[in-house]
Structure 1
Amino acid sequence: MGKTLGDFTLEIKAGEFTDSEIMVMLGENGDVPTLNVSYKPQTISPKFKGSVRALLHEKIRDAYTHPQFITDVMKPMQIESIIDQDVQNLSGGELQRVALTLCLGKPADVYLIDEPSAYLDSEQRLMAARVIKRYILHAKKTAFVVEHDFIMATYLADRVIVFDGIPSRSTAANTPQSLLAGMNRFLSLLEITFRRDPNNFRPRINKLNSIKDTEQKKSGNYFFLDD
């Protein structure tokens, strides 16, 4: 399937997705284009006049008072600590936590989440990833996530959709692949290799043209799930 918008063309290759699955969409900036869909945008504008509580009551009235949603989303996202603050006075990180809560609180078949790690510190990013993964699993829904934080992307992804082509001009959305195959394909486009840190097991970029970088490129292993 193909779509054209002005000078931008998008080709979408056939694929399928299942319930309780998170698809992470990877591509260079300008590659990834932004059913019943709940959408969390990359940037958040605090236009709402009123408290966080009033916003949640207006947008997700049933969800934000439900005991399971409170346990799975509200508490780990620490919404209670800011619930009576004015939305327009929230920091970027606080707005992000509210936006993720609003997105997951809306009844939908598909959730599209753009940059869930934006404005969050490292601890909050890990918590947000856990919340998204647990919610999608338990609710038996599907999520498509655009994420440029590599560690968060690898944690979230059940499978990967790689976008390639000419950024902002001509892009192809490839068939969903396994995490390992998708990451290898994406990193090969960038000509970057990753290794697993032996101490904390986090992905680390190999120095360009280092022995490790050269060896992995020759073998076609740009990314490892395990050492």
Structure 2
Amino acid sequence: MGMDFGILKLRAGAKHHEVTARETAIVLLGGRVEARIAGNLFGAQRGSLFDEGPTTFHVGAGTSVELRADAGGAEFAVIRAVNPRPLPVRVYTPAETATEDRGAGLAQGACRRLVRTIFDYSTRPDSTLVVGEVVNFPGRWSSYPGHHHAQPEIYHYRFTLPQGYGHAEIGESVFKVRHGDTTTIPGGLDHAQVSAPGYGMYYLWVVRHLPRRPYKGFTFTREHTWLLDPKNQGWQPSV
């Protein structure tokens, strides 16, 4: 995949320090944290993945990073990739991460979801990564119609309740995904997601650029593109 993904959990008052060996993106998933990045102090908090946007610390190799959790502890997603280019420190706040209401008016609302792109090639061209989040409404689809791109991708899932679940299509395979699961999507495979009724689904998504082929968008699965026209809502029951 060309990238590493992991979850960092800090107990109340605990501290994590490292000097990064690779490009690193650290997304706050929950809690309150004090961060010292390259000597500069930042504060951040997040109470809900579903109702609040992310704070993300994005740094290049050789950067000093110190994270200290507040009384309630803190949790982070950490993504790393090799990047020989210098990468200035960026801290993306919730206010800087726009939320896009995507899929409204299509397929009788069955694929409406919220998409948050934290950074991509247009805003961070020296990065090797693209990072964002999706909030999938209960019983609805996201990344739909299915789509594909040449670059590999990672999804990490959370649900509004710990027993929540959904299904992930990757190529011709379908996987049941639960709270805390992570999937890897090889380049070129169509993929789409659906959440079980009653359970909101969140996933963090990370795309890795390919050499001389950065990720700039995706291609929809051809046979389902007719659904992109709001005039084509699909079959509707008469009852």
TM-score by length of 1: 0.32
As a proportion of its length, which structure holds more strand? 2
The higher relative CO (CA closer than 8 Å, separation ≥ 6) is in 1
TM-score by length of 2: 0.31
As a proportion of its length, which structure holds more helix? 1
